[in-house]
Structure 1
Amino acid sequence: MDEIAVLIPCYNEEKTIEKVVSDFKRELPEAVIYVYNNNSTDNTAMLAAKAGAVVRNEYMQGKGNVIRRMFRDIDARCYIITDGDDTYPVESARKMIDFVLNKNADMVVGDRLSSTYFSENKRPFHNIGNSVVRKCINILFHNDIKDIMTGYRAFSYEFVKTFPILSKGFEIETEMSIHAVDKNMYVENVVIDYRDRPAGSVSKLNTYSDGMKVLKTILRLYRTYNPMGFFGIIAAILAIISAVFFIPVMREYVITGLVPDFPTLIVCGFTMIAAIQSFFAGMQLQTIVQKNRQDFEMNLQRVDNDKKRLMNL
């Protein structure tokens, strides 16, 4: 088991990867630095190896796939994950590691949005998207993570070995944040200075398509982690629609004793039945979610025992 593992997923980062690896080797000489090359067509892998990183390959394209492979392959007491584009300050790593190793944090978030992100980042729609995603998740999941989509984080062994990665691409950061909140893990925020990519380094993010994937991920995870809330909202909307159309029919019946709009009455009845079904579906799924959380706590104890065993080897 490594004491500290620095994980750098890379796709065509030859402009910056050598500097990123060298900076981490200088700041964290005791750490093992892993660069996972994700089908790069440039000299990323060669330059990373030249700088002293352990270079491995992941052939399934997408950041989520790379991180899944990293988390499976590597055992460490503390993991630092960062991007290979030299936008995150290596000087903040020591403070993030301290939270994991000495204060039992499960995830430490490198918070860009509370410092220089909005002034340094030259893509205005990325700024808006980050703010929208942060607000949505903090409202839906009742938490206060300062930067949902940052690529600079530190993790405990327990988090890494119990995190079921489903996302294939850049939605992975959102999934990490929601998993930590839902499983009541200890999350800390460390404010970091963000700098934009250097000249010649190109972002792999597509503002619109990746933004839509992130929003779909939030919706999917809200349905998965809080089915009572998700299906309860659907039930409430259906019940309101049914009531709005039923009231005029009921008023007409009270006044005249007649029901002239039978089709409306029938549709209102079916809509209310759908609302009731949605409500009880949410209740049943919430019971399953609660059972999964209990199973997760038992699995967490097993992972903790595995960690102790590895540390004693």
Structure 2
Amino acid sequence: MTDDVCVLLPTYDEAATVADVVTDFRDHGFENVLVIDGGSSDDTRERARDAGARVEIQSGTGKGQAIREAVREHVTTDYVLMADADGTYRASDAEAMLEPLREGTAEHVIGDRFADMHEDAMSGLNRVGNGIFNGLFSLIHREEYGDILSGYRAFTVDSFERLRLSADGFGIETELAVECARHGVRTTVVPITYLPRPDGSNTNLHPVRDGGIILMAIYRQAKTSNPLFYFGSAGVVSGLAGAIVAAYVAYDWFVNGIPHNVLAIVAGVGIILGVQLLIFGVLSDLLVTLHGETLDRVEALEREVNGATDAAVDGTDSGPEGSDATAPSEGKDRADPPEQ
């Protein structure tokens, strides 16, 4: 059954591959294929329509904005299967991606490209970068998602609406992973096959620029997920810089007799700032922990209240059907005097 699934393909200048991707999904029974286009200058939209896809033009720019707009304005199904239109993902993996959603064991599914990655599918630089980003994510957000930058995902619309997403570009995959971890969205990882881009297909990814965006997205989101790392890492950098400058000032003073008053002040400020940031990180981490525990207790109380309310409603509904419900009227009948 695929009527409850919308295949979402964000595109920008993917004329070389989009028709084959749409056809692949339709051949596997997915009739509802939505292409959300970011203003392509080639024949992407026309080829997608000819292949049988529904095509919408996004109002803004960037992959992240396209996904948010598509899900909130153009998707009417319960599930979304999101993939890139560059021919690197296979429609044959779709059912495995959707299975955890339909079984109710997950709300968000990430396709792990490294489970079966073809040799030429990713450059060595990108492999190293992906490894670093995944390691940082696991360290900061305390979740192991395997491949947070994967573009092949399946999720429920309900879980998507609970996420606070703002990334416009390629940082959207990172933000999805962070928000799932933050909001407790049940997430699982499914092994998939990752193929090299077909000949004639050019990537829209710029490793250095987009890598920097992804790195900043991971670090920025740590402010509320892991404030000890967020403030502590800045404190360590500031403290170490101050300590290095202080060591130089002390050396030049004791060995050469040359004072560096300004540098000494800079070193002191750096060390003090580092200590303050570290303390602030510890306090913030404590507040986040207490906040999480409070939310857990509130949710537990809500479940208890809802359960008690449901039980009371059931008792009220069944009351009149019992034998006691007729007792007052029977007593009244017995108390009435006989007719003369």
> What TM-score do the two structures reach when normalised by structure 1?
0.79
How many Å separate the matches in 2 of 1:138 and 1:165? 20
Give the secondary-structure state (helix, strand or coil) at the position aligned to 1:112: strand
Q: 1:129 is matched with which residue? A: 129
Unmatched runs of 5 consecutive residues or more in structure 2: 251-258, 303-340
Q: 2:113 is matched with which residue? A: 112
Q: What is the deviation of 1:10?
A: 0.6
Q: 2:332 is matched with which residue? A: none
Superposition pairs for residues 71-150 of structure 1, below 5 Å? 71-73=71-73, 74-117=75-118, 119-121=119-121, 123-150=123-150
> Looking at CA atoms only, which structure, 1 or 2, has the larger radius of gyration?
2
Query: Is the alpha carbon distance of 1:272 and 1:89 closer, same or farther for their aligned partners in structure 2, counting shifts above 3 Å?
Result: same
Contact 1:183 1:293 in 2 (8 A): no
Query: Is the alpha carbon distance of 1:58 and 1:295 closer, same or farther for their aligned partners in structure 2, counting shifts above 3 Å?
Result: farther
Unmatched runs of 5 consecutive residues or more in structure 1: 250-259, 302-313
Q: 1:6 is matched with which residue? A: 7
Give the secondary-structure state (helix, strand or coil) at the position aligned to 2:170: coil
**What are the superposed Cα offsets for residues 246-281 of structure 1, whole Å, 9 maximum, x if unpaired?**
9x99xxxxxxxxxx9998987776556434532454
Contact 1:112 1:150 in 2 (8 A): yes
How many Å separate the matches in 1 of 2:180 and 2:290? 16
How many Å separate the matches in 2 of 1:228 and 1:235? 10
How many Å separate the matches in 2 of 1:125 and 1:241? 29
How many Å separate the matches in 2 of 1:46 and 1:33? 14
How many Å separate the matches in 1 of 2:52 and 2:261? 77
**What are the superposed Cα offsets for residues 271-300 of structure 1, whole Å, 9 maximum, x if unpaired?**
5643453245435644368648977997xx
Contact 1:85 1:201 in 2 (8 A): yes
Q: What is the deviation of 1:139?
A: 2.3
Q: Structure 2 counterpart of 1:278, which letter?
A: L
Q: 1:155 is matched with which residue? A: 155
Contact 2:228 2:282 in 1 (8 A): yes
**What are the superposed Cα offsets for residues 227-248 of structure 1, whole Å, 9 maximum, x if unpaired?**
13321334455567778969x9
How many Å separate the matches in 2 of 1:20 and 1:10? 11
Q: 2:26 is matched with which residue? A: 25
Supply the RMSD in Å over aligned alpha carbons.
3.2
Overall identity of the aligned pairs, in %:
27
- The range that moved more, 192-201 or 282-291, is 282-291
How many Å separate the matches in 2 of 1:212 and 1:37? 25
Is residue 96 of structure 2 the alignment partner of residue 69 of structure 1?
no
Q: 2:186 is matched with which residue? A: 186
Q: Structure 1 counterpart of 2:4, which letter?
A: E
Query: Is the alpha carbon distance of 1:105 and 1:293 closer, same or farther for their aligned partners in structure 2, counting shifts above 3 Å?
Result: farther
Q: 2:198 is matched with which residue? A: 198
Query: Is the alpha carbon distance of 1:12 and 1:264 closer, same or farther for their aligned partners in structure 2, counting shifts above 3 Å?
Result: closer
Give the secondary-structure state (helix, strand or coil) at the position aligned to 1:28: coil
> What TM-score do the two structures reach when normalised by structure 2?
0.73
Q: 2:55 is matched with which residue? A: 55
Q: What is the deviation of 1:83?
A: 0.6
Q: Structure 2 counterpart of 1:277, which letter?
A: Q
Contact 1:9 1:84 in 2 (8 A): yes
**What are the superposed Cα offsets for residues 176-230 of structure 1, whole Å, 9 maximum, x if unpaired?**
1122122222221111111111111111111111111111111111224221332
Contact 2:113 2:192 in 1 (8 A): yes
How many Å separate the matches in 1 of 2:267 and 2:206? 43
Q: Structure 2 counterpart of 1:98, which letter?
A: E
Q: Structure 2 counterpart of 1:79, which letter?
A: V
Contact 2:71 2:157 in 1 (8 A): no
Contact 2:12 2:37 in 1 (8 A): yes
Number of matched residues? Answer: 286
Q: Structure 1 counterpart of 2:170, which letter?
A: F
Contact 2:224 2:288 in 1 (8 A): no
Is residue 176 of structure 2 the alignment partner of residue 176 of structure 1?
yes
How many Å separate the matches in 2 of 1:211 and 1:265? 36
How many Å separate the matches in 2 of 1:19 and 1:218? 33
- The range that moved more, 180-189 or 4-13, is 180-189
